[in-house]
Structure 1
Amino acid sequence: MDFIDIALIGSYILVGIALLAAIILPLINALDDLSSLAMSAVGILILLVIFGLGYAISGDEVTAVYTKYDVDAGLSKLVGGSLIMMYLLTGVALVGIVYTEISKIVK
């Protein structure tokens, strides 16, 4: 085992610790204020609804290129739903940016 292997293992351990800290510490802080935890749950629920809308709209076509990469109808629909969700959220963000800038100009 050379230095590169040891460094990679060390970096994997540090990434794992950072991941656990990024998940556990906000949960500990959220338990102090349950309203913030409820608002987070509402945000996650809204994202799930938007994904469900995108998933329902997306098609499940499988072309020859897709079969080359072992993509079946379910995966095609999942990717399509994710892309539609991204398009919807990008549109909402752009409308929010434009609204914010216009409201700053009006004030």
Structure 2
Amino acid sequence: MDSIDIFLYVADILVIAGVIFAVVLPLIKSLDNPGSLLKTGVGVVALLVIFFIAYSMSGDEVAAKYAADPFNLTPGMSKFVGGTLLTTYALFIIAIIGIVITEINKAIK
């Protein structure tokens, strides 16, 4: 095992810890105001809906060179990666539209 493998494991652990902290700490804070949990739930449901739509639209084709030994990419994995990429693109476009609308509203006021 070389240093690259060790750093990949450390990165995995740090990402998992970050996800746990990002989920648990706001939940602890929101116990003071349970109404904020509803907003969080709506946001999570919206993200899941966007991902489901993107996952449904993505294809499951796998090129022959990616189905071989080093990658072992399956059609299911290909569909998941495609759905994730489409979700990222959709969220990027939504963010840009939100920024433009906010700036137009500030300019009008």
Q: Same fold (TM over 0.5)?
A: yes
Larger proportion of helix: 1
* Farther-moved stretch of structure 1 (87-96 vs 23-32): 23-32
CA distance in 2, matches of 1:54, 1:61: 15
Report the equivalent of 2:104: 102
- Within-5 A mapping of 1:21-100: 21-68=21-68, 69-100=71-102
1:37-77 CA distance string (max 9 Å, x none): 11111110100000000000000001023213111000000
1:54-103 CA distance string (max 9 Å, x none): 00000000102321311100000000000110111111011111111122
- Paired residue total: 95
Which amino acid in structure 2 is aligned with residue 65 of structure 1? K
Q: What are the ranges of 5 or more consecutive residues in structure 1 without an aligned counterpart?
A: 1-10
The alignment partner of 2:66 has SS state of helix
* Farther-moved stretch of structure 1 (75-84 vs 25-34): 25-34
* Farther-moved stretch of structure 1 (89-98 vs 61-70): 61-70
**TM norm structure 1:** 0.76
**Larger Cα-atom Rg:** 1
CA distance in 2, matches of 1:60, 1:21: 34
The alignment partner of 1:66 has SS state of coil
**Which 4+ stretches in 1 moved above 6 angstroms?**
none
Report the equivalent of 1:6: none
State the percentage of identical aligned residues: 46
Which amino acid in structure 1 is aligned with residue 61 of structure 2? E
